A and B are shown apart, each in its own frame.
Chain A
Amino acid sequence: MKILQHLYRLLTATLLLTLIGSIQSALAAPKIQHWQTANGLRVYFVPAPQLPMLDLQLVFSGGSARDGDKPGLAMLTSSMLNKGADGMNADQIAEAFESVGAQFSSGSGMERSSLGLRTITLPDEQKKALDTWLKVLGKPDFPEKDFARTKKQALIGLQAEKQDPGSIASKAFYKNLYGDHPYASPENGTEESIAAITLDDLKAFYKKHYVAKNGILAIVGNIDRKHAEALAETVSSSIPAGEKAAAIPPVKPLTEAKTVHINFPSSQSHVYIGQIGDKRGDKDYFTLYLGNHVFGGSGFTSRLMKEVRVKRGLSYSVYSYFSPQRELGPYILGLQTKNDQVDEAIKVSRDELNKFLKEGPSEAELEQSKKNITGGFPLRTASNSDIVSYIAMIGFYGLPLDYLDTFADTVNKISRDEVIDAWKRRVHPEKMLTVVVGNEKQKDKQTGKKNQQEGNKQVEKSTQKKATTPAG
């Protein structure tokens, strides 16, 4: 603590000294250093000596896409890491991190499981934080009592999802879009799957996925190359070499349009319209990205925002985006609007999408988007947090190290015809999934009364299928 106070007093001086030289010249992305440890952990490193702090992010292939017939397994495994390790209990672990001001994080997503650490770089504090982190990573105890509690917590989490129309819509969207593909697997599991998962399941999942060859380590902060190498060796030697996780199976697109309505007592209907999109490293990635910037990805300058919100006042937020994964991720168009306007909002959005596919962006719009992407590039890596997220992403998907350097150039070279061509090949409104969660009665009553608009033939009602099919 004394040392921490001392550090605080010194910060003025530190800051003045380090602010003399800025690491990045204008428009240049940070230079990423890359190597591999003895047992096969890939390391991505950007030194950032300006602030006395260090960020680590260790990412494994191992999210809900690896849950198999046990949805929620990756999430529970991740949640249990800091509940007991090398004889320390959850309280002791929390105290060890927090007594030196370190911030521990762990979590799992669709295809990643990760552990993070943020610590200040005073020697004693950094050592204590790191020692604790390595125990959590390499020697989790998976205590029985904590597991029982964690499962109960997970069930309450599922209840929270059920009172939120946005969460309900999101789950239904992934389930219906991906069917029996692992990407359909609900990250937080189901009541049945959570109840059935055992500690042995967690231990097996941990043993298989939390291994050096299946992970990448991102390091950003006040550390030099030599120490970063030593640090990376320490991290990787605290877990076995193991094997890389198997490839995720290819994704099959929907073959016909599908609409899912779920009744919910909310004043708004939540709408998700979409289909299978693209993947990381996809040959159309940049072209689709640029096109979507014009269509639904750039806030107020996007066509969706102009037509749905600005011109008609139908929704507070309306957007579209591609969410590329290792395999084909989704393309999603989303909005929320009061129940009696939902048909109109869907029709406007669909009409805009059809129009965009037919005519493409104008040259002026394309130019504007290119300028926004290029001119805004320095904003994306302005902080250590930004940089660590980017290099973890680049490492995880095995993208080229100069990915950030070449991004703007690549975008600038794309022509209008290329955008039109890629969108026509990849985006198919006639085979899209539409999920609507809201109050159907309110909608029918009011639209019937108003009788204000033509029906949208593509939006046919079908009753919701219950969430019984176990995904994955």
Chain B
Amino acid sequence: MKITKEAPQKRSAPQTEKILTLMKKIFNRYLLLSLFITLTSPLSAKDTQTDSAKEPANSQPASEKTLSQTNNDLTAPHSQISEKTLDNGLKILVKKDNRAPVVVLQLWYRVGTSYEHEGITGLSHALEHMMFKGTKNHASGEFEKILSVNGARNNAFTSQDYTAYYEVIAKDRLEVAMELEADRMRNLILDEKEFKKEIEVVKEERRWRTDDRPTSLTREQFNAVAFLNSPYRAPVIGWMVDLDTMKVGDLRKWYEKWYAPNNATLVVVGDVEPDAVFALVEKYFARIKTSDIPAPKLRTEVEQKGPRSIVVKAPAKLPYLRMGYKTPGLINAKEKWEPYALEVLANILDGGSSARFAKKLVRDKEIAASAGASYDGFGRLPNLFVLSGTPTKSKTIEDLKKAMLEEIELLKTEKVSEEELKRVKAQVVASEVYQRDSIENIASVLGSLESVGLGYQLIDEYVPEILKVTPEQIQKVAQKYLIEDHLTVARLQPLPLDKKAATSEEGE
């Protein structure tokens, strides 16, 4: 996962690019935690060029900012995707793209935070870290060394619904990556001493990602309140107390339970021939035995019976508002068009600089310093339609909340104009073209769709389904799902930073 540089690169204030893409919707990046942060190559010297004043207050985690600027997937018809399943259940997807002599291999396991339960949160992510700590055939550290001398870029990431490992490598060295991934599907050592050090790294990661970032902290607590029994209430990194009490034996059980060929999808995209890839997979993976994979418990979220609201007090300079409505996902929607209508609705509000939030709340009324809307309808379980933002200095959180809810009301009472709808659809189509520029993101879309249970074929349905959405459908989903009784609101109330810091600040 190309993440970000957490380094004192001089950079302008964050900007979130808000263009609708399948990639971004499905492969929800802020929920991904990866093994490590990669620096921007010093060779490339890509200055961080951002439109600083556009969205200055959107202080999301760095990963989200940077990731949202990379480009995305490919929606080539699946006739171009070759598929095969080994006898042991391992599913392989291959997509040929020979623009450069490069290939990406991603191995996706159907396990993540939403498979965990209270008391063991963060287990999937911690295991991902330990997957680099040696197998019966390769000592700890050797894995990285072998990939390094072969010029590979590699990393791993964990989300609520999956854990994935990947290598980007010159096309003639694909076998190197294949051998290593097959090895660690079964032969992981999970050494106690290694674990004791690595769990400290994970705790540092938690401090860095969440504990010291007021908006992340708010988001974490918001999720825990919005969901009562759905596993989406837990943070991917895990609660600190669960990290404190985690044992290497817990990881071993988890590994044995979920890491198996019949619980995985292997995706290869790049300058390769599908048959050659299948032969390689056969060579390294066919010997691995099938496991009994338990179906995860249903844990369907209980119906929300009225609005919920929390306040999070933390040292901060800026207030932050986060609101979420319970919505169906494609996985459980009774009407298949509904998730697509919600998707378009989110982009009517926040699909670029001409969308309603930027135009009305940021530029015209100057209520929001930043304002976002997003719908998460492509996961393993139903999720939320989220509104978030920071008010301008002369406005309050309540002003922002009111203004956002007025926009929601407007969607219920008035149909969106044909022109707005056309604009969103044009963006969708163009974005699908742009997304073909990156093999890594094509692979990610295929792998995530397959892993959440929607099936990779959805990659071809997305654009046609979006193009079918009508103004009436948008109005209907607004009336049906964006209702107060299903709303959760979180407010970040800034506490003063410590005295010393406070006194060194210039007048405001």
Contact = CB atoms under 8 A, between A and B. Distances in A.
Contacts of B429: 4-5, 7-8, 101
B86 interface: no
Given A160-B57, A316-B201, A262 B423 contact: no
Contacts of A323: 9, 42, 45
Contacts of A448: none
A186 B53 CA distance: 14
Interface stretch (B254-262, B296-304, B338-346, B352-360): B352-360
B244 interface: no
Given A114-B49, A383-B437, A466 B504 contact: yes
B44 A27 contact: no
A237 interface: no
A100 interface: yes
Given A8-B429, A310-B141, A379 B49 contact: no
Contacts of A94: 352-354, 358-359
A149 B101 CA distance: 47
B6 A313 contact: no
Interface stretch (A15-23, A36-44, A207-215, A419-427): A15-23
Given A22-B99, A94-B353, A155-B393, A311 B197 contact: yes
A452 interface: no
A12 B10 contact: no
Interface string B169-198: 111110000000000000000000000111
Interface stretch (B312-320, B325-333, B375-383): B312-320
Nearest to B42: A321
Contact of A15 (B44, B80, B423): B80
Contacts of A150: 53
A249 interface: no
Contacts of B207: 266-268, 336, 338
A266 B53 contact: no
Interface stretch (B11-19, B223-231, B285-293, B478-486): B11-19
A305 B392 CA distance: 41
Given A191-B506, A263-B501, A380-B43, A157 B13 contact: yes
B52 A22 contact: no
B439 A382 contact: yes
Contacts of A439: 498
Given A51-B437, A99-B422, A393-B46, A170 B152 contact: no
Contacts of A12: 76-77, 79-80
Nearest to B391: A156
A64 B204 CA distance: 33
B43 A109 contact: no
A311 B168 CA distance: 26
B47 A110 contact: yes
A301 interface: yes
A456 interface: no
Contact of A306 (B12, B53, B141): B141
Contact of B36 (A153, A170, A299): A299
Nearest to B240: A267
A316 B148 contact: no
A368 B152 CA distance: 12
A50 interface: yes
A1 B352 CA distance: 17
Contact of A265 (B57, B202, B315, B392): B315
A98 B423 contact: yes
Interface centre among A105, A160, A385 (most CB of B within 10 A): A160
Interface string A255-266: 000000011111
Contacts of A393: 44-46
Given A26-B170, A376-B152, A380-B41, A79 B7 contact: no
Interface string A149-168: 11111111111111111100
B139 interface: no
A101 B438 contact: no
Contacts of B7: 170, 319, 321, 332, 334
B42 A289 contact: yes
Interface in B189-240: 196-205, 207-208, 211-214
Given A8-B463, A26-B170, A378 B51 contact: no
Interface string B496-508: 0110110011111
B268 to A, nearest CB: 15
Contact of B149 (A159, A161, A368): A368
Given A98-B354, A109-B47, A164 B213 contact: yes
Interface in A355-406: 368, 371-386, 389-390, 393, 397
Contacts of A82: 51, 353
B404 interface: no
B35 to A, nearest CB: 9
B430 interface: yes
Given A106-B51, A160-B56, A371-B148, A22 B100 contact: yes
B317 A159 contact: yes
A275 interface: no
B427 interface: yes
Contact of A8 (B98, B208, B432, B438): B432
The 6 A-B pairs with the shortest beta carbon distances in the complex, nearest first, are A375-B151, A101-B430, A157-B56, A170-B8, A107-B49, A376-B151
Given A101-B427, A371-B148, 18 more contacts: A4-B425, A19-B97, A98-B351, A109-B10, A152-B369, A160-B14, A161-B13, A163-B316, A164-B213, A169-B8, A264-B497, A268-B207, A316-B205, A332-B8, A372-B148, A376-B151, A383-B439, A385-B437
28 contacts: A1-B422, A4-B425, A4-B430, A12-B79, A63-B47, A78-B52, A79-B52, A79-B53, A91-B354, A97-B354, A99-B419, A99-B423, A101-B429, A120-B434, A152-B369, A153-B55, A163-B214, A166-B62, A262-B501, A299-B38, A300-B148, A323-B9, A376-B152, A380-B41, A382-B168, A385-B437, A385-B438, A389-B46
